[in-house]
Every structure is written in C-alpha cells, then in structure tokens.
Amino acid sequence: MKQNRRQFLKTAALGTLGTGLILDSALAGEKPVSFSVNRIAGRNAKMKLSFRPYELKLRHVFTVATYSRSTTPDVQVEIEYDGIIGYGEASMPPYLGESVESVMSFLSKVDLEQFNDPFQLEDILAYIDGVMPGNTAAKASIDIALHDLVGKLLNAPWYKIWGLDKEKTPSTTFTIGIDTPDVVRKKTEEVAGLYNILKVKLGRENDKEMIETIRSVSNLPIAVDANQGWTDKKYALDMILWLKEQGIVMVEQPMPKTQLDDIAWVTQHSPLPIFADESLQRLSDVAGLSGAFSGINIKLMKCTGMREAWKMVTLARALNMKVMVGCMTETSCAISAAAQFSPAVDFADLDGALLIGNDIFKGMEVVKGKITLNDLPGIGITKL
C-alpha cells in the first residue's frame, strides 16, 4: 500500500509539472514526503494577475565600476488561483534597461485567465516569453509567482520538487561596494563574524587599494566582480595573479562582454575560475560561453526566472562548467526563489535582501553565513 501511494504521488507530480524536474531523490526511501496536492488542476478556477510598484531602499550607497545608486525600482506581483496566492517580483537595476513603467506595461498585456491549469508551466511561460521580446525582469516576476503558486498547490518547496538536499546550500557572499578606504573598512568590520566569504566590486583605478583595505581587517575568502572594468587582457591576467596571492577565490566578468576572445585567453591562463556575468543572459547563451569562461552566474532577473535558470544549471553541468547563482538588490521574494536551486551550485551571491532596509517578506535566511532554506511550500516565503 505504501509503495502504491508513493508511486501515485510521483506519477501525479510528474504528469502535472511536465519534463525536466528531478523528483526521484525526494521521493526515494521510506522518509515521508509532503507532496499532497492542495487543489486539483483543471478546475474552473482562473489565474488572476495583479501588480504594483515598490521602491527598494538600500542601506548604503551602492557603487560599481559604472554607477552609484541608493534605491532600486521594483514591481511586486501576485497570481491568485482558487484562493491561493503566488508571489513574484521584478527588480530593475539600471543596466537591465527595464523600468517600473516598462514592467507595468508588459504585465498589463499578460492574460493568464486563458489558462485554467497553473501546472502547465512550460506552456504558460512560453506564452509569457512571446508577449514581447526582452523584458526579462518582468517575465521573471510572473515565473517566480507561478512557481510559488504551484509549489503551494503541491504543498512542497521547490528545492524538494527538484530533488535537492537543502543541507548542501553554499555560503552566500556579502558584497562590499566600491568606496573610500574608511567606508570600505567600516563596512567590512560591520559584517565581521556574520559571513564566510565576501564579494568585492572592482574595475576602477583603486582596485588594489580596495583589496588591501579589506585585508587590513579581514582574512575571509573573497570573490571579485570586475564588472567588465579591465579592458587589456594582459593587465587583467596580472590583476588576477595578484588577486590569487591575496586570497581571492574567483573572478566575475573581468573584461567587456564584447572581448570574448580576450576573456577566453585570460581564462586559459588564470589560476582562478572566471565566471560570466554580463556576457550571460539566458539559456541560449550558455553553450557559446563554454571554453571562454570557467562558469556562469545565473540571475533570475536576466534569464526570465526559475524555469529557465534550472535548465541553465543542467546545461552548464553537461558542459563541465561551474555554476553560480547571483541576484540584484531584491526582496526576500526573488532571493528565496533563487535560493531554491542553490544546493546545486558552486558559489552563491544571494545577499540582495540584506542590502535593503524595507524588505516585505521573510524567507531564506543567512545563518552563520550559510544559505538556510525553510520547508514552506513554493519559494518559501511569508509576507510581513
């Protein structure tokens, strides 16, 4: 009887969610698994989409190689179906090219009421992707809300639906933005003992000063993001060799994305893994970066959400590439969504909600520097 029940749950979940999901490990063994469907797909219920603008307020002025800001525009999204609400979010830092106006315009064109089965993620998200080109953050907001909704309907978190072990989550980096030595030193001291790895934005003339300042107060491993700031490949390699001596463990996007051949040369000679950030947007980009980069940094706001992100993880592993999950400044909604597949990655930069002072969700937590997932269904959040 127990075997028949487990087989029924497995068959039902696979049938409703479609291909590409790994449920075997979650359903293996005798340990009970909470895949009980709260609602039956195919009823007459309709999905209702609602959205509103929200401005994220940063705790500190955030500076990278090309700009500074103290706020990030954001749009909060809800999808209601048969009394259950899935939450999503679009965060729009300047370089994405999206705005509150563009996201609201995109979402106003979306008709989810034509679908009466939220489990048909592949069909629904293919429709969303075809509404207009681009608009990746807007698309991600719907994708996240749908995943939250479907997980709640299944009464299971997505890490479990994907067959992942939440004990294998990595530590998240904590970002130190470009600033004066005094401010950098203060920021580093503020997070002493809270994190296991730091992330530093480089790409300006004071790069070495930034690292030396942090090293004056911390010996933690450091991940570096040059944000395309180095334009000469030999200079980039010299910097990486110096960074290796300072305890840096990886480098993101050392050079402009247009200089792919130069990046490939740097990667070939680098003692540190080199990750694609600005060079990578979506699934279709991954194969072309194999050989030029050691790994990829997946961000939901760039790749249109969780569905495509999971496919990118799978393809990168098939190409023997490392994987990192990153974020923008976001509430715990989008951060917790990305954290669901964090047990499958090598590095994580999911500190976006920690950088803002007006989070409206509680979700994934950072405990002693480590990403810690709860067992709430969907993307694992509650609204404050």
Number of domains making up the chain: 1
Residue 276 sits in which domain range?
A: 164-383
φ, ψ for residue 292, nearest 5 deg: -85, -30
| Domain membership flag for residue 218 | yes
| Domain membership flag for residue 21 | no
| Domain membership flag for residue 25 | no
Global pTM reads 0.88
pLDDT surpassing 70 at residue 180: yes
- 215 three-class SS: helix
Query: What amino acid is encoded at 222 in this protein?
Result: I
| Domain membership flag for residue 227 | yes
| Domain membership flag for residue 322 | yes
Residue pLDDT, tens place only, 253-295: 999 999 999 999 999 999 999 999 999 999 999 999 999 999 9
| Domain membership flag for residue 295 | yes
Q: Which pLDDT score, from 0 to 100, does residue 24 have?
A: 39
For residues 286-302, one letter each, b for 16 or more C-beta atoms within 10 angstroms of the residue's C-beta and e for the rest, the string is: beebeebbbbbbbbbbb
The string of DSSP letters for 165-196 reads -GGGPPBBEEEE-S--HHHHHHHHHHTTTT-S
| Domain membership flag for residue 38 | no
Residue pLDDT, tens place only, 29-49: 334 344 455 555 445 789 999
| Domain membership flag for residue 178 | yes
Q: Which pLDDT score, from 0 to 100, does residue 68 have?
A: 74
The CATH number given to whatever domain includes residue 289 is 3.20.20.120
270 conformational bin, left if phi > 0, alpha if psi -120 to 50, beta if neither:
beta
Q: Which pLDDT score, from 0 to 100, does residue 94 have?
A: 83
Chain mean position to CA 199:
15
Closest CA to 56 of 274, 266, 355: 355
Residue pLDDT, tens place only, 189-234: 988 889 999 999 898 888 999 999 999 999 999 999 999 999 999 9
Closest CA to 144 of 331, 358, 360, 354: 331
pLDDT-derived band at 63, boundaries 50, 70, 90: low
Q: Which pLDDT score, from 0 to 100, does residue 64 have?
A: 60
pLDDT surpassing 60 at residue 130: yes
